[in-house]
Amino acid sequence: MTRPIVAIVGRPNVGKSTLFNIFANSRISIVEDTPGVTRDRLYAAAQWLDREFMVVDTGGIEIMNSDTIAVNIRQQAKIAIAEADVILFVCDARSGISEEDAEVAKLLRQSKKPIVLCVNKVDSPKQELNVWDFYNLGIGEPLAVSAANRLGLGELLEAVTAEFPPENDEDLTEDEDEIKVALIGRPNVGKSSIFNALVGQERSIVSDVAGTTRDAIDTPVVKNGRRYLFIDTAGMRRKGKVDEPIEKYSVMRSLRAVDRSDVVLAVIDATAGVTEQDKKIVGYVHEAGKGLILVVNKWDLYEKDTNSTLRYTEDLRKELIFTQYAPVAYVSALTKQRLHRLPELIFYVAEQSSQRITTALLNQLLEDAAATNPPPTDKGKRLKLLYATQVKVKPPTFVIFVNEPELMHFSYQRYIENKLREAFGFEGTPIRLIIRGKEEEE
């Protein structure tokens, strides 16, 4: 399902980043964080009740400022606004309405997008009285919050999610046997060349659907009797000294494609190595729970020796430490080297992501794991693994019931995950472990 995008905008120092961090990191205590993924991105997955969405932070908009940095920030914000489904306009109750607020409001009204007006820093009765002045912006009802004290956030999120586009049956009508594959990557890494090679090799194309609101090209293909839907992402802008921040916002289109996919091909330029943007994009794929293949392109241009592949893979694992499970494919879009192997690898990862383990096998594994490496103790209490069950696939998700959840150290969770991978594979897919206390058992 494609997640709606919420862009947080406003002038500088009104608390936009504080709200973003709350949504991205704690997610209002609704969704647990996944350890090992950096949180320095300008976009993140969030959830409120049963609605998942992407939240995007933007730089402070200074309409009246004409210096280069301010102009670039305005341009970034405009891109985020154009991509967003809902705009969260943040103002400051302490300083009241400024001329900049009025100008930003005018910019937002021109977008014709749903706007939720958030008045932040309402920390006292005096500031509560100031909230009503913000009706003068002509945006709608101002919602008072205190991001610092986490007050009013529930009402704010209710208002934001109420503006989301209605959910439809798109995902229900798609062919369940069709493997949806998104190709993502920075500009000039050869993503489109790989896409063209994959969809053009057998010419058994059902149809091309271009120019949709998803800003991607969907191409159904049949290879070796299997149905694939390849999604070539659009909107990735060239990187330059001035436009580099803008590229971070153009990646939102790729993230929409990730949401719709079963398997993601993350294309990396062999000659450039892993960049910060690669880490951000691949980190999003990991958190979204999608099957992942790291495709190192331009391998024909890389200066090699007998240990090049092994050494490059080790460096890749260090840079993308949270994706140790992802297979690596070394290809050349120019010479077509090893491209023919990708469809089989995609199918394999899709199968791994959909794998179900019986409860009996799962609990036998837990028993063996605990015998080999006893669970940790704390202050005389030992963690007991009661039993486990698989609750979903894509990604494989397991609930483990224990006597004391607080005794389950992250390192022991990683140990159990490694045991699952040793026994059942799960190559190319994240694994989710949910720890529950005995009293939470149904």
**Which of 204 and 251 is assigned the larger pLDDT?**
251
pLDDT tens-digit map of 81-104: 887 899 999 999 998 999 889 988
For residue 29, give Cα distances in angstroms to 38, 150, 278: 19, 12, 28
CA 36/CA 19 separation, integer angstroms = 22
Residue 429 has a pLDDT of 97
Residue 6 φ/ψ, nearest 5 degrees: -115, 115
Q: Which of 156-170, 202-216, 374-388 has the lowest mean pLDDT?
A: 202-216
| The pLDDT of residue 211 | 33
Q: What is the average pLDDT value for the chain, to the nearest integer? A: 82
265: pLDDT strictly greater than 90:
yes
Query: Which pLDDT band holds residue 213 (cuts at 50, 70, 90)?
Result: very low
pLDDT tens digits for 191-200?
A: 888 988 888 7
pLDDT at 68: 66
Check whether 215 has a pLDDT greater than 50.
no
Is residue 204 over pLDDT 60?
no
pLDDT-derived band of residue 241, with 50, 70 and 90 as boundaries?
A: very low
CA proximity to 437, closest of 410, 405, 390, 399: 405
Length of the chain: 442
Paired residues of 103 in beta bridges:
none
Q: How far, in Å, CA of 104 to CA of 62, rounded?
A: 8
233 DSSP β-pair partners: 216
- What is the C-alpha radius of gyration for the chain, rounded to an integer number of angstroms? 24
CATH class name, domain 5-162: alpha beta
- Per-residue model confidence (pLDDT) at position 182: 93
φ and ψ at residue 319, rounded to 5 degrees = -70, -40
pLDDT tens readout for residues 120-133:
999 888 888 889 99
Res 106 pLDDT > 50: yes
Which pLDDT score is estimated for 92? 93
- Phi-psi group of 394: left, alpha or beta (phi > 0 → left; psi -120 to 50 → alpha; rest → beta): left
Residue 253 has pLDDT above 70, yes or no: no
Structure tokens at 274: 């892993």
Query: Is CATH 3.30.300.20 the classification given to domain 359-440?
Result: yes
pLDDT confidence of residue 56: 83
What is the spatial distance between Cα 359 and Cα 388, in angstroms, rounded to a whole number?
7
| Straight-line distance from the first to the last Cα atom of the chain, in angstroms, rounded to the nearest whole number | 28
Task: Name the strands in the sheet holding 291-297, side by side, starting at the edge strand that comes first in the sequence.
Answer: 216-223, 226-233, 179-185, 263-269, 291-297, 328-330
- Report pLDDT for 251: 62
Per-domain boundaries in the chain: 5-162, 170-353, 359-440
Q: State residue 219's pLDDT score.
A: 81
Highest mean pLDDT among 25-29, 66-70, 204-208, 286-290: 286-290
Closest CA to 226 of 204, 247, 248: 204
pLDDT at 169 over 60: no
170-353 architecture in CATH?
A: 3-Layer(aba) Sandwich (3.40)
- Banded model confidence at residue 395, pLDDT cuts 50, 70, 90: very high
Whether 207 has a pLDDT exceeding 90, the answer reads: no
Token pair for residue 251?
């990646």
pLDDT of 42 reads: 64
29-34 average pLDDT score? 31
Query: Is 232 or 184 the better-scoring residue by pLDDT?
Result: 184
Tell me how crowded residue 144 is: count the other CB atoms within 10 A of its CB.
21
Judge residue 214's burial from the number of C-beta atoms within 10 Å of its C-beta, 0-12 exposed, 13-18 middle, 19 or more buried: middle
- Separation between Cα atoms, residue 409 and residue 407, nearest integer Å: 6
Do residues 423 and 431 lie in contact, with contact meaning Cβ atoms separated by under 8 Å?
no
pLDDT confidence bin for 369, thresholds 50/70/90: very high
Indicate the pLDDT class of residue 223, thresholds 50, 70 and 90. Answer: confident
Chain position carrying tokens 């391998």: 299
Task: Check if the beta carbon of residue 39 is closer than 8 Å to that of residue 25.
Answer: yes
pLDDT of residue 364: 96
Q: What is the mean pLDDT of residues 279-297?
A: 92
Mean pLDDT, residues 404-412:
92
Burial of 173 (0-12, 13-18, 19+ CB in 10 A): exposed
Q: Tokens at residue 42, please?
A: 């300008």
pLDDT tens track for 297-343: 999 999 988 899 999 999 999 999 999 999 999 999 999 999 999 99
Tens of pLDDT along 33-86?
333 332 333 677 788 888 888 888 877 777 666 666 567 666 767 777 887 899
**CA-CA distance, 266 to 324, in Å (whole number)?**
14
Decide: helix, strand or coil at residue 242.
coil
- The yes-or-no answer to whether 5-162 and 170-353 have a common fold is yes
**Of 253 and 28, the one with more pLDDT:** 253
Q: Can you give the pLDDT at residue 34?
A: 35
Contacts of 334 (CB under 8 A, 6+ apart): 190, 193, 298, 300
Measured CA to CA, the distance from residue 284 to residue 84 in angstroms comes to: 18
